[in-house]
Amino acid sequence: MRFWLGASFSDTGHFLELARVAERCGFDTLTLSDHLFYADFASPYPYSSSGRPRWDARTHWPDVWVTIGAMAAVTSTLRFSPNVYIAPARDLFTVAKQVSTAAVLSGDRVTFGVGVGWCKEEFTATGQDFHTRGRRLDAMLPVLRELWSGRTVTLDGLPELSIAPVPARPVPVLVGGDSPAALRRAARLGDGWIGNRVYTEERFDEVLAELRGQLDEHGRPAGDFEIIAPLAVLPDPETYHRFAAKGVTGTMAAPWRLATPQEKEKYGEGTLALKVATMERFAEEVIAKM
């Protein structure tokens, strides 16, 4: 079981120190989320009962790839992944060049967590078709893999082309989302699946059963497939061992969300000091015992 740090909603100025501490504490991967802007969205947010986002205009959404590049410069082993990057809101070459450059500069420490997105307004703003985003992502992923390999590709209306720089090793592609279409996409085109909501054990078992069915249908051995599941469980080694037995290869944690009242009083709500203290406690009480 590997532990991913869910660092979304953090102030931009916190990320470099969070990366340093995550590496020191034994986290495998640091994740951050992708949004272009805040507005009074008409699009319903799919991960809340109200349909409203859980953040406001003051919440920081730093550019994923710029931030990963900065964090890579102050670490040496920690990996990085968006959870998730909304690739079909951009054109193919913007995505290909951003990910490839970040992978090269980090020494192949980038995972491509990708999804189709829910916010129509962001697609409208970037001139991309919201309603074809799934089909376009399906077409985009094989071409991205070819471009990242350094091979030449041929696309309609363009001469043969390639990009540089390219990473020394393949960039792992983890597909996010738990709709039937997303799980099919993960099983067919991904190296794994990444959850972008927090799951109870009962709900996760339902998603896992559907995902396994899709893997079987597409002839994918489950043992070669990453499953990163954010879990609504109290962090203890026995619980994580149980999920590992189900095939979960990694889980996500934001230890400051479980800060004790004493820690909040000592360090202050939302402070970098609170995040560091709770990460260190999580490392001692959970990661070290796994």
The residues, ordered by sequence, that sit 6+ positions from 112 with a Cβ below 8 Å of its Cβ are 81, 82, 85, 99, 144, 171, 172, 173, 174
Inform me whether the pLDDT recorded for 171 exceeds 90: yes
Residue 40: CA atoms inside 13 Å, Cβ hemisphere, count? 0
Give the residue numbers spanning the domain of 272: 2-289
| CATH code for position 57 | 3.20.20.30
Average pLDDT over the chain, rounded to whole? 95
| Sheet strand arrangement including 2-6 | 79-82, 29-32, 2-6, 250-253, 226-230, 192-194, 173-176, 112-115, 85-86
Model confidence, pTM: 0.95
Q: What is the pLDDT of residue 54?
A: 85
Whose tokens are 């979960």? That residue is 248
pLDDT of residue 48: 82
The per-residue pLDDT for 236 is 86
- Given a cut of 90, whether residue 2 has pLDDT beyond it is yes
Torsion of CA 218, 221, 224, 229, to 10 degrees: 70
CA-to-CA dists, residue 15 to 66, 86, 107, 266, 272, angstroms: 11, 21, 19, 21, 9
Per the CB < 8 A criterion, the answer to whether 98 and 82 are in contact is no
Pairing label, strands 2-6, 112-115: unpaired
pLDDT digits (tens, 9 = 90+) for 16-28: 999 999 999 999 9
> Is residue 174 a contact partner of residue 249, using CB atoms and an 8 Å limit?
no
Indicate if the pLDDT at residue 49 is higher than 90: no
Out of 198-207, 235-244, 261-270, pick the least confident.
Answer: 235-244
Mean pLDDT of 121-144: 97
Q: What is the pLDDT of residues 221-234, one digit of tens each?
A: 878 899 999 999 88
State how far the alpha carbon of 198 is from the alpha carbons of 12, 95, 207, 229, in Å.
Answer: 23, 27, 12, 8
pLDDT at 172: 98
pLDDT for 237 beyond 90: no
Number of domains within the chain: 1
The owner of tokens 């004493």 is 262
